[in-house]
């Protein structure tokens, strides 16, 4: 059934709701397994920090290129079809890890990650609005908040999977590798490369099975609320949005925020190992896990604080704190700098949804829909700034690479300051 706007159903649909909410967990795990892969591939393929950062570049490029086609597919074939197609892509990408590891081809791993990200673009574009339709309108926000709470849980699960099933705990120094003969060194690299095969095979099978479950489950019927006229006016709405300085400011803020978040998480393990020599990748991953726990705690704490403090003021305060924390990590490398990066996750927690909400604030239905799609596309910041951090690290040090997220949080602070000075009234 062609899809435009839809009306929510009158009664909660518990099985469909559980199946869709689980998607937030699944893509949270996929996103943060990349942080493990950067450290693993750097070791297995002897990569520079810049080349290791291409893991995130390939991943978030998939988001950027596929977000708009995913929205078009959803309008044409419906939410459920988009979810199933997204899961199929996710599963295929995960299964591609097996031949990539067997052939020890880094480029094929990047292709697999691009396919996974393409699937996740379909899931994120469709699952968020779909959750709001699976029950009464008056509880839609509560359902969506519940679904979003599973995202950091998936992120933590992804790190734990990588920590215990991918990282071997064997990290040879350059001197130890040089002392090995060619056969021993090749065997070590092959073992580290193939460590990803079974975890991603299991993930692929689970995701494919979930797609089949959703396909076979009867979902409540939704009713179309918009026709072709909305699509016909898309070009006009797009031009209006891109001429709006407030909206363009939100795009920039979201681009730099996502880049900062992905960059900090991607290089936390590398930062710990670089600034505390002798720390194994498995032990270093504990800092990333702690950061994700802080992120989840910050999401609940930030939501509670918004009862007493305007979201834009909270955004300003959290951005200012993170500028200080990331600069501390630059100038105090080591255990204390690592703790600062862990704490940084707590204050990042509210940034994405707050910038998103401010970006679509006060807009009509058409602008809100297209604006949301454009804001999702800013996830490309994760590709661009992570690669930039890798380049800075190669030229100087991993500690100095943290100047990139510090500058990014400055952009978020500037955006929040401008929005506080020029608030927007809701159009209705």
pLDDT the model gives residue 398: 95
Residue 66 is assigned to a structural domain of this protein: yes
As a whole number, mean pLDDT of residues 372-379 equals 82
Residue 387 is assigned to a structural domain of this protein: yes
Residue 209 pLDDT exceeds 50: yes
Whether the CB-CB separation of 297 and 152 falls below 8 Å is answered with: no
pLDDT in tens, 105-148: 999 999 999 999 999 989 987 877 677 677 776 555 456 656 77
pLDDT the model gives residue 427: 45
Residue 22 structural domain: 1-232
* 198 in the same domain as 78: yes
* 215 in the same domain as 131: yes
Among residues 398, 53, 14, 37, which one has the least CA distance to residue 220? 14
Residue 426 is assigned to a structural domain of this protein: no
Residue 427 is assigned to a structural domain of this protein: no
* 305 in the same domain as 165: no
Residue 428 is assigned to a structural domain of this protein: no
pTM above 0.85, yes or no: no
Burial classification of residue 23, based on how many CB atoms lie within 10 Å of its CB (0-12 exposed, 13-18 middle, 19 or more buried) = buried
Domain boundary (177, 211, 232) is at: 232
* 115 in the same domain as 36: yes
Instruction: Provide the 8-state DSSP code for 163.
Output: I
* 266 in the same domain as 218: no
Indicate the length of the chain as a whole number.
428
* 338 in the same domain as 416: yes
pLDDT in tens, 386-403: 999 999 999 999 999 999
Domain boundary (232, 258, 274) is at: 232
Q: Which is higher by pLDDT, 9 or 71? A: 71
If you average pLDDT over every residue of the chain, what do you get?
Answer: 85
Q: What is the CATH number of the domain that holds 156?
A: 1.20.1250.20
pLDDT in tens, 275-324: 999 898 889 989 999 999 999 898 888 878 888 888 899 999 999 999 99
pLDDT the model gives residue 341: 97
- What 3-state DSSP class applies to 38? helix
* 204 in the same domain as 313: no
* 8 in the same domain as 156: yes
Spell out a b/e string for 148-157, using b for 16 or more CB atoms within 10 Å of the CB, else e: bbbbbbbbbb
The structure tokens listed for 51 are 């080349």
Distance CA 246, CA 412 (A): 13
pLDDT in tens, 31-72: 889 888 988 998 899 898 889 888 888 888 888 899 888 877
Distance CA 318, CA 353 (A): 13
Helices 403-421 and 311-331: angle between axes, nearest 10 degrees: 160
Distance CA 106, CA 112 (A): 10
pLDDT the model gives residue 404: 98
Distance CA 33, CA 37 (A): 6
Give the total number of structural domains in the chain. 2
If residue 238 lies in a helix (H) or strand (E), which one and from where to where? helix 234-242
Q: How confident is the model at residue 235 (pLDDT cuts 50, 70, 90)?
A: confident
Instruction: Provide the 8-state DSSP code for 23.
Output: H
Domain boundary (193, 213, 232) is at: 232
């Amino acid at each position: 059934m062609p899809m435009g706007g839809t009306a929510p159903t009158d009664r909660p649909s518990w099985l469909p709701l559980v199946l869709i909410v689980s998607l937030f967990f699944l893509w949270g795990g996929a996103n943060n397994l990349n942080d493990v892969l950067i450290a693993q591939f750097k070791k297995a393929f002897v990569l520079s920090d810049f080349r290791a950062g291409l893991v995130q570049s390939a991943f978030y490029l998939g988001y950027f290129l596929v977000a708009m086609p995913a929205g078009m597919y959803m309008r044409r074939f419906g939410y459920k079809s988009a979810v199933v197609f997204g899961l199929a892509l996710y599963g295929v990408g995960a299964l591609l890890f097996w031949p990539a590891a067997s052939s020890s081809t880094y480029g094929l791993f990047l292709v697999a990650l691009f396919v996974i990200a393409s699937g996740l673009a379909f899931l994120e574009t469709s699952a968020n609005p779909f959750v709001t339709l699976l029950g009464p309108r008056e509880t839609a926000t509560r359902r969506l908040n519940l679904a979003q709470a599973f995202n950091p849980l998936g992120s933590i699960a992804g790190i734990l999977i990588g920590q215990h099933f991918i990282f071997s705990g064997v990290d040879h120094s350059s001197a130890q590798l040089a002392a090995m003969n060619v056969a021993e060194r090749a065997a070590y690299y092959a073992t580290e490369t193939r460590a990803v095969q079974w975890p991603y095979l299991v993930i692929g099978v689970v995701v494919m099975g979930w797609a089949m479950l959703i396909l076979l489950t009867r979902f409540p019927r939704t009713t179309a609320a918009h026709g072709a006229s909305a699509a016909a006016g898309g070009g006009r709405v797009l031009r209006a949005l891109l001429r709006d300085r407030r909206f363009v400011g939100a795009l920039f803020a979201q681009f730099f925020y996502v880049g900062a978040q992905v960059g900090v998480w991607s290089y936390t393990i590398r930062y710990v190992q670089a600034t505390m020599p002798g720390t194994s990748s498995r032990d270093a991953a504990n800092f990333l896990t702690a950061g994700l726990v802080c992120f989840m705690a910050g999401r609940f704490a930030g939501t509670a604080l918004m009862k007493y403090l305007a979201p834009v003021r909270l955004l300003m305060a959290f951005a200012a704190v993170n500028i200080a924390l990331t600069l501390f990590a630059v100038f105090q490398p080591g255990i204390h700098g690592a703790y600062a990066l862990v704490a940084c996750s707590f204050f990042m927690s509210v940034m994405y949804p707050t910038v998103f909400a401010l970006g679509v604030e006060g807009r009509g239905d058409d602008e809100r829909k297209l604006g949301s799609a454009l804001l999702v596309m800013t996830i490309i910041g994760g590709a661009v700034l992570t690669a930039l951090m890798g380049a800075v690290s190669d030229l100087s040090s991993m500690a100095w690479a943290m100047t990139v997220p510090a500058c990014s949080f400055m952009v978020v602070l500037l955006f929040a300051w401008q929005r506080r000075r020029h608030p927007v009234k809701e159009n209705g």
